[in-house]
Chain A
Amino acid sequence: MPKIYNGEIIENIPVGELFLVTVSIGESISIEPGQFFLIRIDREDVILRRAFSIFDVDEDRLSFLYRVVGRGTKWLSERRIGYSLNIFGPLGNGFSISQGRFLLIGGGSGMAPLYYLGKRLRGDVKFLLGAQTGNFWGKELLSRYASIGDIEVVTEDGSLGKKGLVTEYIDTNYDRVYACGPIEMLKNIRIDIPTEISLESKIACGFGACRGCVIENKYGEYKRVCKDGPVFNLKEIF
């Protein structure tokens, strides 16, 4: 059951073009990969909490990998060690966990939920990560992913790894594919193996009540990203 926790910041550091914040909530809780937390932004002019999928869980420590894109994430990036973040979660449906050979595709900051997923999957894990340039990740972050699976990177400018878009480098020798990233990237995953994708939307309540975050699936039905998702089967959406 989701709850409001006070998460004391024990680390909030830049990694490449992203930030990694780790909080201690004082107890160990069960969280599925792909679930998210809503972090309150303690500014009077900011209304909505910001949604972050879980990057890593280590006993009572939760980590979130995020990009600074607006007022909320900027505020978050400026919080120092010791600050108490008001966080609400875990929310939503996570990725399915099984045994086999898995491809985990991350576009930009969409890589965030894949680390904890990779840790929890049993079998062979390969990460296929894409960004505009090689500076996006920073070496430490990539080596962290490399410590739990094979890793292949693709950059649009070719400055690191292969040149182009991740969707050009998907091979299908896997039991299941997991993906998170820009909607254009997800749309262009055209494969016939079971694929789970994590979607993004502006979230208000986070628990399925307000209907603010809905997206339309391919059958024309509205689905709540926060409650029916954020993880969906690719075939249900596109």
Chain B
Amino acid sequence: MSWSLCGIELRTPLVTASGPLGWGKEFFEIFSTRGLGLFIPKTVTLNPKRGNSPPRIEETIGGLINSIGLENEGVYEWLRLEPFYRSLNIPVMASITGSTLDEISKLGEIIDRLDYIVGIELNLSCPNVKGENWSNNPKSIFEATSALRNVYNKIIFVKLAPKDDPLLYIKPAIDGGADGLTLFNTFPAYQSINGGLSGPVIKPIYVRLLKEIVDKVKVPIMASGGVFSTSDVLEYLNLGASAVQIGTAFFKDPDIAEIIYSDLKDLFNLRK
């Protein structure tokens, strides 16, 4: 079995959604890359970000609201992880965002020089940071994507927010130069905290949104949202996704990728 995402060879279609596993160091100290095809670390910003004040997580029925607020030590700390990323035996795609076009360009220029990073996922849809949600405005999506395209030569995936009429937001990303799309980020929600909702409860919404657009979009899609089981992965793959991201499910089963991949292997072998 081998999978491909805009020419990047993946040994499995399972990808870590950016965020839950941080920059990866803590996770891969305990668990292996087994089952995973691609690692996407938590979103990196140009300067360190303190993140939101606690409490930052709240469990709902069938879901989880998070409001981390992009806490991270900034790109210069992240660059120090080069030896670690080189030591992983799967490709690594960066996830970035910025509060200005200039920040996005600068990050793009820095990451363009890194031969150990296969591409960038441009996170235009963090629901937890005031004033930085590019995803709400098609023009902003176009400008942000173009700004990165102008300086970055490898693969760009744009990660968008789940919204009505998805094509309205997908089109400017593609026009701006996206090679692929990550659909979708968490769903804005409130239960004692404001944040982004993830988990099985959002999957039916995301499947419906994807169904609406999948035949109309030519670029590869990484599906994301509520993937907790092998059947969730198959549902997104059958819909036409090129790869499937797993995020919140790592909290329930840190070895989820391994478990699902072992099922997938059995299934695909059977079909042969």
User: Hey, which chain A residues are within 8 Å of B51, CB to CB?
Assistant: 211, 214, 222
| Distance from A200 Cβ to chain B, minimum over Cβ atoms (Å) | 12
Name the prevailing secondary structure of the A interface residues.
Answer: loop
Cβ-closest chain B residue relative to A208: B26
User: Hey, which chain A residues are within 8 Å of B27, CB to CB?
Assistant: 205, 207, 209
Are the C-beta atoms of B21 and A205 separated by less than 8 Å?
yes
Are the C-beta atoms of A44 and B59 separated by less than 8 Å?
no
User: Hey, which chain B residues are within 8 Å of A202, CB to CB?
Assistant: 55, 57-59
Say yes or no: A205-B61 contact (C-beta < 8 A), given A210-B19, A211-B68, A222-B71.
no
Q: Residue B188 at the A interface, CB < 8 A?
A: no
Q: How many A-B residue pairs have CB under 8 A?
A: 97
Residues of A195-224 at the interface with B, using a CB-CB cut-off of 8 Å, are 201-202, 204-205, 207-216, 222
Q: Residue B268 at the A interface, CB < 8 A?
A: no
User: Hey, which chain B residues are within 8 Å of A44, CB to CB?
Assistant: 62, 200
Residues of B192-249 at the interface with A, using a CB-CB cut-off of 8 Å, are 199-200, 248
User: Hey, which chain A residues are within 8 Å of B66, CB to CB?
Assistant: 204, 210, 212
Residues of B24-50 at the interface with A, using a CB-CB cut-off of 8 Å, are 24-27, 29-30, 42, 50
Are the C-beta atoms of A201 and B54 separated by less than 8 Å?
yes
| Distance from B67 Cβ to chain A, minimum over Cβ atoms (Å) | 9
Q: Residue A66 at the B interface, CB < 8 A?
A: no
Cα A171 to Cα B61 in complex, Å, equals 45
Are the C-beta atoms of B63 and A2 separated by less than 8 Å?
no
Are the C-beta atoms of A205 and B251 separated by less than 8 Å?
yes
Cα A4 to Cα B255 in complex, Å, equals 9
Are the C-beta atoms of B252 and A209 separated by less than 8 Å?
no
Select which of B26, B62, B64 is within 8 A of A204 by beta carbon: B64
Say yes or no: A210-B255 contact (C-beta < 8 A), given A201-B54, A216-B54.
no
Cβ-closest chain A residue relative to B71: A211
Q: Residue A1 at the B interface, CB < 8 A?
A: yes
Q: Residue A227 at the B interface, CB < 8 A?
A: yes
Are the C-beta atoms of B26 and A47 separated by less than 8 Å?
no
Cα A215 to Cα B29 in complex, Å, equals 24
| Distance from B210 Cβ to chain A, minimum over Cβ atoms (Å) | 22
Are the C-beta atoms of B57 and A209 separated by less than 8 Å?
no
Cβ-closest chain A residue relative to B64: A47
User: Hey, which chain A residues are within 8 Å of B30, CB to CB?
Assistant: 1-3, 207
Are the C-beta atoms of B250 and A205 separated by less than 8 Å?
yes
Cα A47 to Cα B15 in complex, Å, equals 19
Cα A86 to Cα B51 in complex, Å, equals 32
Say yes or no: A49-B58 contact (C-beta < 8 A), given A205-B21, A210-B22.
no
| Distance from B200 Cβ to chain A, minimum over Cβ atoms (Å) | 7
User: Hey, which chain A residues are within 8 Å of B50, CB to CB?
Assistant: 222
Q: Residue A97 at the B interface, CB < 8 A?
A: no
Cβ-closest chain B residue relative to A227: B26
Select which of B29, B53, B62 is within 8 A of A45 by beta carbon: B62
| Distance from A175 Cβ to chain B, minimum over Cβ atoms (Å) | 33
Are the C-beta atoms of A213 and B254 separated by less than 8 Å?
no
| Distance from A2 Cβ to chain B, minimum over Cβ atoms (Å) | 6
Are the C-beta atoms of A47 and B59 separated by less than 8 Å?
yes
Cα A214 to Cα B50 in complex, Å, equals 11
Cβ-closest chain B residue relative to A209: B22
Say yes or no: A47-B252 contact (C-beta < 8 A), given A208-B26, A212-B68, A214-B51.
yes
User: Hey, which chain A residues are within 8 Å of B251, CB to CB?
Assistant: 47-49, 204-205, 210
Q: Residue B20 at the A interface, CB < 8 A?
A: yes
| Distance from A214 Cβ to chain B, minimum over Cβ atoms (Å) | 5
Query: Residues 83-123 of chain A: 1 if any B CB is under 8 Å from the residue's CB, otherwise 0?
Result: 00010100000000000000000000000000000000000
Q: Residue B253 at the A interface, CB < 8 A?
A: yes
Residues of A1-23 at the interface with B, using a CB-CB cut-off of 8 Å, are 1-4
User: Hey, which chain B residues are within 8 Å of A67, CB to CB?
Assistant: none
Are the C-beta atoms of A205 and B20 separated by less than 8 Å?
yes
Query: Residues 23-56 of chain A: 1 if any B CB is under 8 Å from the residue's CB, otherwise 0?
Result: 0000000000000000010001111110000000
Residues in A lying within 8 Å of B, measured CB to CB: 1-4, 40, 44-49, 86, 88, 201-202, 204-205, 207-216, 222, 227
> What would 30 A/B residue contacts be, using CB atoms closer than 8 Å?
A4-B254, A4-B255, A40-B252, A40-B253, A45-B61, A45-B62, A47-B199, A47-B252, A48-B57, A48-B252, A49-B252, A201-B55, A202-B58, A204-B20, A204-B64, A204-B66, A205-B254, A207-B26, A207-B254, A209-B23, A210-B22, A211-B51, A212-B56, A212-B68, A213-B54, A213-B56, A214-B51, A214-B54, A222-B50, A222-B54
Add 4 more A-B contacts to A44-B200, A205-B27 (CB < 8 A): A4-B255, A202-B58, A209-B21, A210-B20
